[in-house]
Amino acid sequence: MDEREYINRISPGRRDINQRMVHRGFVFPFGAYPEEPFDQRIGYDSRFIEDSGLYNYEISVSHERVLSVFISLLRLMPGQAHVVAQVHTDDYYRECDSYVSETPVSVADLIDWIMTWRSVAADDGFFGIGAFCDEPAAEVFLDEHKSIHMYHHDPQLIETTLEGMGIPFRMGLRFFWDEPHYHEPLPLSDEDSDDFLSAFEDLADKYGLMLEDEEDDNIDEDGDPMGVTCWRVEVRGYRQNEEDLTRRDGGFYSTYYLNAASRFEAGIQVETYLEHRQEHVDLYLQMARVPLELLTANLRDANKLPGEPGVWLETDKYEFDIGHRA
């Protein structure tokens, strides 16, 4: 099994990428579409958020215009902004893991990246990308449904821009993702096919994305704390070169099963576990909570103390050669 096969663990879709759902002239993206025909209208709705003093816009356009509208709104951002990405996770209680760049990056450079990976940005139902800044506060995000969300302090600027692109205001605009719908990754037809995990790794390497791991995010769908629970954590890691500490040797992908009370604690446990082996985390690919009853019998047997924090299994390790500077 080569590196590409390892990182694409989700079964590829069987449809051709050009076989998108179309209903009454509205073209849905390949990777997100309603279970039943849905009259998705082109337009935007907005609301004022008192706490932040920002206006929130939710925008719907047909697939063929998604990238052009998204990029036009990105160009309204300041020249430097933080990158934010959302990537599909197998977590039982949430759909996506969120990643943010530590420092602001060039928005123009980010637009170039989006155009390079435009098939993933515009069509993959397991990937979302955007940018935000704090001063002045603003955000624009293309989610995994390929709907656009924007937060901004200047409604005249945003509404003039949207209506200038032929996107009308529609109070109470409905979105297909409020109803039962499907998500799919792009199909892998050949070794040059784009996929959301390859795009994510490239984005993370380029902009130094960090997984958001708030200490208090270990809650269920009702918002109740879960306490110590089982996690499956997938990482890309490396071994430090013993003679030259600026070099990384022995790259690997691996999966760890552990018990932890929070996402933050799960990360600390994995990093401590690896440090004892002179290994380090390069990138968290996902942190997913798995209810004990959904584990296989073999995994349940391996988790000897389900209420006790700690790493209890490493599996699926795939090694590859690297030799780049730390």
DSSP string for 216-249: T--B-TTS-B--SEEEEEEEEEEEE-SS-TTBEE
Same domain, 23 and 98: yes
Same domain, 144 and 28: yes
Same domain, 124 and 23: yes
Same domain, 172 and 245: no
* Domain limit, last residue, from 174, 196, 218: 196
Asked, for residue 187, whether it belongs to a domain, the answer is yes
Of the pLDDT bands very low, low, confident and very high (cuts 50, 70, 90), residue 199 is very high
Q: What is the mean pLDDT of the chain?
A: 89
Same domain, 190 and 231: no
pLDDT digits (tens, 9 = 90+) for 53-91: 999 999 999 999 999 999 999 999 999 999 999 999 999
Cα–Cα–Cα angle for 175, 179, 184, rounded to 5 degrees = 90
Asked, for residue 211, whether it belongs to a domain, the answer is no
Asked, for residue 117, whether it belongs to a domain, the answer is yes
Same domain, 36 and 130: yes
How large is the average pLDDT for residues 173-190?
Answer: 88
* Domain limit, last residue, from 144, 179, 196: 196
Asked, for residue 11, whether it belongs to a domain, the answer is no
The better pLDDT of the pair 186, 17 is held by: 186
With a cut of 50, say whether residue 120 has pLDDT above it. Answer: yes
Asked, for residue 6, whether it belongs to a domain, the answer is no
pLDDT digits (tens, 9 = 90+) for 133-166: 998 999 999 999 999 999 999 999 999 999 999 9
Q: How far is CA 261 from CA 220, 226, 235, 257, 275, in A?
A: 12, 7, 19, 13, 21
Same domain, 147 and 258: no
* Domain limit, last residue, from 180, 196, 212: 196
Closest-CA residue to 45 (of 31, 58, 32, 27): 58
Same domain, 171 and 294: no
Of the pLDDT bands very low, low, confident and very high (cuts 50, 70, 90), residue 212 is confident
The end-to-end CA distance of the chain, in Å, is 27
Asked, for residue 204, whether it belongs to a domain, the answer is no
Query: Are the CB atoms for 211 and 58 separated by under 8 Å?
Result: no
Q: Give the single-character DSSP code of 169.
A: B
Q: What is the pTM of this model?
A: 0.87
pLDDT at site 202 = 95
Asked, for residue 130, whether it belongs to a domain, the answer is yes
The better pLDDT of the pair 228, 10 is held by: 228
Number of domains in the chain: 2
Asked, for residue 165, whether it belongs to a domain, the answer is yes
CA distance linking residue 308 with residue 304, whole number of Å:
9
Upper half-sphere CA count for residue 48 (Cβ side, 13 Å): 6
Same domain, 121 and 240: no
Same domain, 241 and 147: no
How large is the average pLDDT for residues 238-248?
Answer: 73
pLDDT at site 216 = 56
Same domain, 270 and 140: no
Same domain, 103 and 26: yes
pLDDT digits (tens, 9 = 90+) for 247-288: 677 899 999 999 999 999 999 999 999 999 889 999 999 999
Query: Which domain range does residue 148 map to?
Result: 19-196
